[in-house]
Structure 1
Amino acid sequence: MPEGHTIHRLAARHAALLAGDKVTAASPQGRFAEGAARLCGTVLDGTEAYGKHLLHHYAGELTLHIHLGLYGRFTDGDGEPPEPVGQVRLRLTSDRHWLDLRGPTACELLTPPEVAALRARLGPDPLRADADPHRAYHRIRRSGTPLAALLLDQSVVAGTGLIFVTEALFRANVPPTLPGRLLTPAGWDALWADLVALMTRAVGYGQIDTVRDAHLPEAMGRPARVDRHGGEVYVYRRSGAPCHVCATPVSRDTLAGRNLYWCPTCQPG
Structure 2
Amino acid sequence: MLRAMPEGHTIHRLAAEHQRMFGGRRVAASSPQGRFAGGAGMLDGRVLEDAAAHGKHLLLGFGDDRVLHVHLGIYGKYVFGEGPPPEPVGMVRLRLTGEVGYADLRGPNTCELLEPGEVKLLRDRLGPDPLRADADPALAWRRIGRSRTSIGVLLMDQSVVAGPGNIYRAEVLFRQGIDPRLPGQKLSAARWTAVWDDLVALMADGVRAGRIDTVRPEHTPEAMGRPPRVDGHGGEVYVYRRAGQPCLVCGTPVAVGELAGRNLFWCPRCQAPSA
TM range (shorter): over 0.9
Q: Which amino acid aligns with 1:245?
A: V
Q: CA deviation at 1:42?
A: 0.9
Partner SS state of residue 172, structure 2: helix
User: Displacement, 1:79?
Assistant: 2.1
Match of 2:248 in 1: 244
The reply on whether 1:58 has 2:69 as its aligned counterpart is no
Per-residue deviation, 1:218: 1.3
3-state SS of paired residue (1:166): helix
Letter in 1 for 2:10: T
Distance in 2 between residues matched to 1:226 and 1:59, nearest whole Å: 43
Report the residue type matching 1:169 in the other structure: L
1:25 to 23, 29, 32: 29
Shift of 1:95: 2.8
Please point out which of 183, 188, 195 is paired with 1:191: 195
Cα distance, 1:222 vs. partner?
A: 1.3
CA distance in 1, matches of 2:25, 2:228: 43
Matched, 1:80 2:84: yes
Question: What SS class does the counterpart of residue 157 from structure 1 fall into?
Answer: coil
Pick from 114, 124, 140: which aligns with 1:110? 114
Distance in structure 2 (CA, Å) of the matches to 1:197 and 1:9: 15
The residue type paired with residue 43 of structure 1 is: V
CA distance in 2, matches of 1:125, 1:253: 27
Q: For 2:163 and 2:269, how far apart are their aligned partners in 1? A: 28
Question: Which residue identity is paired with 1:233?
Answer: V
- One-letter code of the match for 1:213? P
Distance 1:79 1:242 in 2: 47
The yes-or-no answer on 1:235 pairing with 2:239 is: yes
Query: What does residue 222 of structure 1 align with?
Result: 226
Runs of at least 5 residues in structure 2 that lack an aligned partner in the other structure: none
Give the Cα–Cα distance (whole angstroms) in 1 for the partners of residues 83 and 198 of structure 2.
41
User: What SS class does the counterpart of residue 154 from structure 1 fall into?
Assistant: coil
Shift of 1:247: 0.2
Aligned with residue 164 of structure 2, among 138, 147, 160: 160
- Counterpart in the other structure of 2:74: 70
SS at match of 1:117: helix
Deviation at 1:259? 0.3
Of 194, 206, 211, the match for 1:207: 211
1:147 aligns with 2:160: no
Matching of residue 4 in structure 1 with residue 12 in structure 2? no
Note if 1:179 corresponds to 2:177: no
Aligned partners of 1:230, 1:86: CA distance in 2, in Å?
26
Provide the rounded CA distance (Å) in 1 between the counterparts of 2:116 and 2:208.
30
Shift of 1:96: 2.7
Distance 1:205 1:14 in 2: 17
**Residue deviations 1:140-187 (CA, integer Å, cap 9, x gap):** 011110101000000000000000010000000001000000000100
Query: Aligned Cα RMSD in Å?
Result: 0.7
Residue 138 of structure 1, CA deviation: 0.3
User: Match for residue 128 of structure 1?
Assistant: 132
What amino acid does structure 2 have at the position aligned with 1:110?
L
Alignment length, in residue pairs? 269
Cα distance in 1, alignment partners of residues 70 and 60 from structure 2: 8
Q: Distance in 2 between matches of 1:94 and 1:239?
A: 45
Give the structure 1 partner of residue 261 of structure 2: 257
Q: CA deviation at 1:24?
A: 1.0
How far the C-alpha of 1:32 sits from its partner, in A, is 0.2
Bigger mean CA deviation after superposition, 88-97 or 98-107: 88-97
Distance 2:244 2:103 in 1: 42
Q: 1:112 Cα shift? A: 0.2
Q: What letter matches 2:222 in structure 1?
A: E
Q: Distance in 1 between matches of 2:114 and 2:240?
A: 36
1:224 to partner: Cα distance: 1.1
Identity fraction in percent: 62
Residue 49 (str. 1) matches residue 53 (str. 2):
yes
Question: What runs of 5+ residues in structure 1 fail to find an aligned partner?
Answer: none
